[in-house]
Amino acid sequence: MATTVIITSVTLNVDHDPADIIALAERILRDLPAKIDPLIAGTLTDAEKYALGMYSNRADTVILRTGDAALLHLALLARCLATRDDADDRDVMIMLALPHVLAQRLRLSPAVVFGEVADRLPEGWLTELLREFGERQDITLKAFGWQEVSTPEGPDFRPLPY
């Protein structure tokens, strides 16, 4: 028997509270089935994809500071659901470098983490990219244009200066 999940459509604007955006992403992630049907992934609105992208970006910093492995899986799933179908592989890999490095730091196998997330997603170019990227052994922050910085709140990631 197929399970249907209906994701509530919302409109976000620049004045929207960031906490509301994160809460929306958390609701979406909580309501997803173990295996995400292509139909479900296709019903995400631009606002919902934006919320999932914001969630994953914020989560990278939280994971860096806390070492939360469960959040790593959710953040990677959110990042993938936020990725546009017409996204350039190279741009996607730049964003995938952060969870790859975080998995390494948590002493997790990036191949396993990325493979588990890929297994939840509908088959396609992104799941193939996840599996291939997760297997790579050459992923570093610097190689993908990132650096770790110290802030008053704690460590964080920033793009390398040009």
**Those residues with Cβ within 8 angstroms of residue 47's Cβ, 6 or more apart along the chain or in another chain:** 9, 10, 11, 12, 24
**3 domain-assigned:** no
**1 domain-assigned:** no
**147, 134 Cβ separation under 8 angstroms:** no
**116 domain-assigned:** yes
Over residues 138-151, mean pLDDT = 96
* Count of structural domains within the chain: 1
Tell me the per-residue pLDDT of 51-61, one tens digit each, with 9 for 90 and over. Answer: 999 999 999 99
Tell me the per-residue pLDDT of 8-55, one tens digit each, with 9 for 90 and over. Answer: 444 444 345 688 889 999 999 999 999 998 888 888 999 999 999 999
**2 domain-assigned:** no
Over the chain, what is the mean pLDDT? 89
What range does the domain containing 24 cover? 18-159
- How much is the pTM? 0.87
Q: What is the pLDDT of residue 8?
A: 41
